[in-house]
Amino acid sequence: MTRVADALATALATAKDAGADDVEVSYTGGETGFTRFARSRFTQVGAVTTDVLRVRALVGKRLGAQQCGSLDADQVAAVARGAVDTARGAPELDVDLGFGTAEAQTPGEAATPAVPEAYNAANAPSTLMRAFDVAREQDTHCAGALKIFRRTRAVRTLHGLVCDGADAWLDLQIIAADGDASGFAGRTCRFADALDADELARAAADKATRGRGAVRIEAEPIDVVLAPAAVAELVEWTSMASFGAQSVLDGQSLLAGRAGEALCDPRISIVERGGEGELEFDAEGMPRQAVAFFDAGKAGQPVTDLLTAARLGDDRGSTGHAAAIDDAFSHSPGASHLHVAAGDRTEAELIADIGRGLYVTRLHYVNGMLDPRRAVTTGMTRDGTFLIENGAVGGGVRNLRFTDSMLECWGPRLGGLGNQLRNVPTWWTPAGLVTCPAMLIRKFKFTGQSR
Amino acid sequence: MTAYADIAQSALDAIAGAEGLDYADARVVADKRDSLVLRNHAVERIQRSTSAGVGIRVLIHGAWGFAAEPEATPAAAERAARRAVDIARGVAAAGGERVRLAEEEPQRGSYETPVDIDPFEVPTDRRVADLTAALDVLRGDGDDRIQSIAANMRWDRTRTVLATTEGTRTDQTITFGGAGISISTRDGETNAHRSYPFDFEGGLASVGYEQIDRLALVDHAALIRDEALALLTAPDCPAGRTTLILDTPQLALQIHESCGHPTECDRALGDEVSLAGASFLTPDKLGRFRYGSTKVNLTADSVTPGGLGTFGWDDEGVPARRTPLVARGTFVGYLSSRETAEALSLGRSAGCMRAESWSRPPIIRMINVSLEPDPDGPPSLEALIADTDDGILMTTNRSWSIDDLRLNFQFSCEAGWEIKRGKITRLVRNPLYTGSTPQFWGGCDAICNEDAWQIWGLASCGKGDPVQAMAVAHGCAPARFRDVEVGCSR
């Protein structure tokens, strides 16, 4: 960390000398390895090293920021001076803002473990080729990606905050396909956990095989069991639309003005909190607090960063959920690891509770912006949608479009929750996870068909 | 400081003679972005971001490897090049079919976006003043149903120096940016939102600060404020099958999702199936599939002035060009790369390989994908409405969703208007329409002429894994579609 620590110290000192009243320096960097494949061949394989350093300066009530992708001392100093210059040219903030202090800091480790041998750059292709062979035994071919992340984060402020942390994880997603049929299996885990590529390939191929000869059914409300990967997409979009403080300030969030109201079934609890081995502070160095968006069905509060907490007048202060400085899509605070409480039934028991319905493995192109106050969400099924008849999973069904209110699905139409939790990675949120169970929803509203 | 061309060359020199090396390209990229967001007249974000680095792609025994380093130095370039070779060797050793590239003449030259007013020379206080003027109008007399008003401005400049083992040496600097405004209103449990020209960072173009005057934010602020308030008491959009007119901000997204993405060759070949999905426009349909009505002509280009997909060369050195995608309703072309052009015997790449930055490998992306105007069409949206007996006009996207083959789509819009006997009769809220791509475009029976044609930029098209955000553009004139399923998104 010397290289990073030196750059952070340079930025702090330079911004202070340039006349800043308060300074925050935030660093995110690391390595991403990716092995993408399709048709059981490799399409993009690479390794990327990144350094991102942001300096935010306050001059009186004026805030400015500059960011660079380098730890070079001259560039870092220029960015620090630039942040102060930017602040001087900015209008005054509408609220009092102060960066973190020594009292707020979170102890942490800055080291990341080594990548498991089977998945390092030298061995990953042959590990995956063996998995492709497993899928080939069922006449399917594989598409997907193996990703390996090693990330470090460090934050310093003029008033003594010092935070260092690191995390690392593996993610393997496999779709096995054969003509019209496809099946999905995936796993996200820490380096220390076992990840069996062959097992995932077999599970995906089993689903694809079962989906052969998929039939078309009418798009109409029908009972469904949503697998965790499908539940995660619905939760992620609801989070993007409503769980961040900015959407509450805008009055568009389903949480706005409803704290304490019973919006969902009492079995629904959705909480943002860090998991084992995850970073415990955000890009502003604020400790990541646990935040309940739904607590036994009752609406909670949003996640905040320093600025939105000040604007909300929130007693909690920042909840430690500032946007990552390398997030290309969002600059507002947001959840990064959502936990949905498990229920008490196995997935088989949920399926057994359906006379006629569908099992949905995964969703595609979900969008939750239709009516955020009711969490109206649309999307398509994909990679393994099966008919359920008399409590048993049957043959494949062609993909369907749904459009439904999550408040209704998680409210009066919630049929049950699975007792097994799975980690599902998010695509829109860097380093994001949803940990959730399967879900039984009554009369899930399908509104259209694919082909 | 070492010249970027020398840094790129040092990467190639480091791996020259590597056993099995078929091809390599080295990109040295430096980018700069200014972003300014004001919400309710207060600063939400004011930031300049810069980065510089190298991205090296190699083909060893027909297998790709990519590596990137966050420094624009010869040492970093050499390190990345050797790492890319190691990665490609691991892939080649695992076996599989060889990648081959379509022929392309080596390129040499430079390109720079024409800019009248350099946006990076415009001081912060002028930028703030330009946005504040629009916010003042949005706030109006302070109606308490207004929940939030926002204005944003963004400017990007990227210099890319490319060198390949085939002899290409190019140097280009692309500048783009613009601004947008939005307003959210609420009355009890009823919400509304309007933006101009749309969310997704507003009206972006590959030009200079002159774009801000062209957008006329102040002129549009009063209009969207009044609409956002009126929507709170407007009736829901009626449901049923009807005639739909799309104004250009929404039509641009319709083109993006239902033409741009399905004509991406990597999707058509199944290479993106795990994430973004595939395409119904499979290679067997090329040259024969009826995509839309004979009114429908869609073209990909990287030459239209102001387009976010306009450049000198793509990121594997293919020069800017035009490629018809749909001609008189028939599917005739793909957005392609050198690899996919070879795989499908297309002859040449359409020049669509683009990378978000030095830290990402180039992948097939949209450039400017545009609906051609109808020379015989109405000259304006008003004339198109006057020519329509009964229907709905919709504008400005609110939500977007389309299936993994790019067939079944559903879009909701910020605002709609009922049309009766050639006139707008009333505003309707939460309008939504849904359909299947070929049927929808097959129902296109009118497109306005070139007088009403505009090109809109979208800078956050997400694709790839790890995800990459790309700047693309869509030109279009208002168009009419018959027999479309419409409804209300509530």
Task: Give the closest-approach CA distance of B176 to chain A in angstroms.
Answer: 16
**Mean of the pLDDT values across residues A49-74?**
95
Sign for the pseudo-dihedral over CA of B229, B234, B238, B243: negative
State the nearest Cα–Cα gap between B155 and chain A, in angstroms. 14
**Mean pLDDT score, A92-99:** 94
**8 Å CB contact between B444 and B287:** no
Our CA-based measurement puts residue A177 at a distance from the nearest CA of chain B, in whole angstroms, of 9
Q: Is A299 helix (H, G, I), strand (E, B) or coil?
A: strand
CA dihedral of B116, B119, B121, B123, whole degrees rounded to 10:
130
> Has residue A110 got a pLDDT over 70?
no
Q: How would you classify the pairing of strands A356-371 and A222-226?
A: parallel
Q: Residues A351, A357, A360, CA angle at the centre, nearest 5°?
A: 75
User: How far does B7 lie from chain A, in Å, by closest CA?
Assistant: 17
Residue among A51, A65, A129 minimizing CB distance to B46 = A65
With an 8 Å Cβ cutoff, is A257 touching chain B?
A: no
The structure tokens listed for A129 are: 């080729």
A390: pLDDT strictly greater than 90: yes
Contact A68 B405 (CB under 8 A): no
Farthest-apart Cα atoms in chain A, separation: 74
The mean pLDDT value of chain A amounts to: 93
Cβ A380–B408 below 8 Å, yes or no?
A: yes
Phi, psi of A125, deg, nearest 5:
-60, -45
Q: Do A94 and B64 touch (CB under 8 A)?
A: no
pLDDT confidence of residue A290: 97
B209 token code pair: 């600060």
Q: Considering CB atoms only, which of A42, A182, A376 is closest to B96? A: A42
**Partner residues linked to B480 by β-bridges:** B245, B446
Distance from CA of B432 to the nearest CA of A (A): 9
For residue A231, CA distances in Å to A342, A418, A426, B407 come to 12, 11, 12, 23
Cis peptide before B197 (omega within 30 of 0): yes
A389 interfacial to chain B (CB closer than 8 Å): no
Contact B70 A50 (CB under 8 A): yes
Least confident window among A117-126, A221-230, B108-117, B298-307? A117-126
A96 touches chain B (CB under 8 A): no
- CB B47 to CB A66 under 8 A? yes
* Structural contact between residues A234 and A363, judged by C-beta atoms closer than 8 angstroms: yes
Q: How many Cβ atoms are within 10 Å of B128's Cβ, its own excluded? A: 21
In chain A, what are the helix, strand and coil shares in percent, each to the nearest 5?
Answer: 25, 40, 35
pLDDT at A120 exceeding the cut of 90 = no
CB contact under 8 A, A250 and B148: yes
Looking at the predicted structure, is the pLDDT value of residue A451 above 70? no
Q: What DSSP assignment string belongs to B8-50?
A: HHHHHHHHTT-TTEEEEEEEEEEEEEEEEEEETTEEEEEEEEE
Interior CA angle at A380 toward A376 and A382, to 5°?
Answer: 145
Conformation bin of residue B347: beta by default, left when phi > 0, alpha when psi is -120 to 50: left
Residues 6 or more apart from B361 whose CB is under 8 A from it?
A44, A46, B55, B57, B64, B66, B355
Tokens representing residue A197 in the block: 């590529």
Tell me the chain A residues in contact with residue B128 when contact means C-beta distances shorter than 8 Å.
89-91
Best to test chain A binding among B27, B48, B97, B463 (most A CBs inside 10 Å): B48
Contacts of B143 in chain A (CB under 8 A): none
Answer whether A159 touches B (CB < 8 Å): no
Contacts of A36 in chain B (CB under 8 A): 274, 465
Using a CB–CB cutoff of 8 Å, tell me whether A227 touches chain B: no
Number of other CB atoms surrounding residue A341 within 10 Å: 17
- Are B42 and A94 a contacting pair at CB < 8 A? yes
Q: Using the beta-carbon criterion (under 8 Å), do A401 and B40 form an inter-chain contact?
A: no
Partners of A182 on chain B (C-beta within 8 Å) are 273
pLDDT tens-place string over residues A248-285 = 998 899 999 999 999 999 999 999 998 878 889 999 99
DSSP symbols for A185-244: EEEEE-TTS---HHHHHHHHHHHHHHTTTPBP---S-EEEEE-HHHHHHHHHHHHHHHTB
Q: How does DSSP classify residue A111?
A: -
For residue B182, the chain A residues in CB contact (below 8 A) are: none
Would you state the structure tokens that stand for residue B80, as one six-digit string? Answer: 């990345």
Among chain A residues, the shortest Cα distance to B412 is held by: A370
- CA–CA separation, B172 vs B113, rounded Å? 8
Instruction: Please answer yes or no on whether A93 and B490 come within 8 Å at the CB atom.
Output: no
Q: How many CA atoms lie within 13 A of A318 on its CB side?
A: 25
In A190-209, the residues whose Cβ lies within 8 Å of chain B are: none
For residue B201, give the 3-state DSSP assignment.
Answer: coil
- List the 264-323 stretch of A: residues with Cβ below 8 A of B: 307, 311
Tell me the per-residue pLDDT of A62-95, one tens digit each, with 9 for 90 and over: 999 999 999 999 999 999 999 999 999 999 999 9
Measure A121 CA to nearest chain B CA, in Å: 6
Chain A residues touching residue B62 (CB < 8 angstroms): none
Do B274 and A69 make contact, defined as CB atoms within 8 angstroms?
no
Interface check for A97 against chain B (CB to CB < 8 A): the answer is no
Exposed/middle/buried for A228, CB within 10 Å: 0-12, 13-18, 19+? buried
Contact A69 B277 (CB under 8 A): no
A431 — pLDDT class (breaks 50, 70, 90) = low
How is residue A276 written in tokens? 């084992």
CA nearest to A382 within chain B: B404
- DSSP structure class, residue A418: B
A120 touches chain B (CB under 8 A): no
Q: Does A188 touch chain B (CB under 8 A)?
A: no
> Contacts of residue B401 in chain A, CB cutoff 8 Å?
365-367, 378-380, 401
Mean pLDDT of each 10-residue bin along chain B, 490 residues long? 92 97 98 94 89 97 97 97 96 91 97 98 95 96 94 97 98 98 93 91 93 97 97 97 97 97 96 90 98 98 98 98 98 98 96 97 98 98 98 95 93 97 97 97 98 96 91 98 91
H or E, element range at B437: helix B437-442
Contact A177/B at CB under 8 A: yes
What local confidence, expressed as pLDDT, does residue A366 receive? 94
Q: Could you write out the DSSP letters of every residue in A376-395? A: EEEEEEEEEEEEEETTEEEE
Of the candidates B33, B217, B29, which has an alpha carbon nearest to the alpha carbon of residue B120?
Answer: B33
Shortest CA gap B467–chain A (Å): 7
Nearest CA-CA distance, residue B377 and chain A, Å? 32
What values do phi and psi take at B149, rounded to 5?
-130, 145
Flag whether residue A162 sits within 8 Å of chain B, measured between CB atoms. Answer: no
Residue A53 bridge partners (DSSP): A27, A68
d(CA A436, CA A419): 9
Window A:27-56, CB contacts with B under 8 Å: 29, 32, 34, 36-52, 54
DSSP symbols for A336-350: SEEEEPP-SB-HHHH
Nearest CB to B87 within list A46, A75, A126: A46
| B488 contacts in chain A (CB < 8 Å) | none
Beta bridge partners of A199: none
* Closest chain A residue to B436, measured at CA: A450
Q: Within an 8 Å CB–CB cutoff, is residue A370 touching chain B?
A: yes
Q: What is the token pair recorded at A29? A: 């960097």
Closest CA to B31 of B461, B459, B467: B459
pLDDT at A106 over 70: no
Contacts of B28 (CB under 8 A, 6+ apart): B4, B5, B7, B8, B52, B53, B54, B72, B77, B160, B161, B358
Closest in A42, A252, A307 to B191, CB measured: A252
**Under an 8 A CB cutoff, do A69 and B53 touch?**
yes
- The span from the CA of B279 to the CA of B407, in Å, is 8
pTM above threshold 0.90: yes
Task: Report chain B residues whose CB lies below 8 A from the CB of A52.
Answer: 51
Residue A116 has pLDDT above 90, yes or no: no
* Cβ-nearest to B184 among A29, A175, A250: A250
User: Chain A residue with minimal CA distance to B356?
Assistant: A328
- Measure CB to CB from residue A91 to each of B43, B90, B186 and give the nearest one: B43
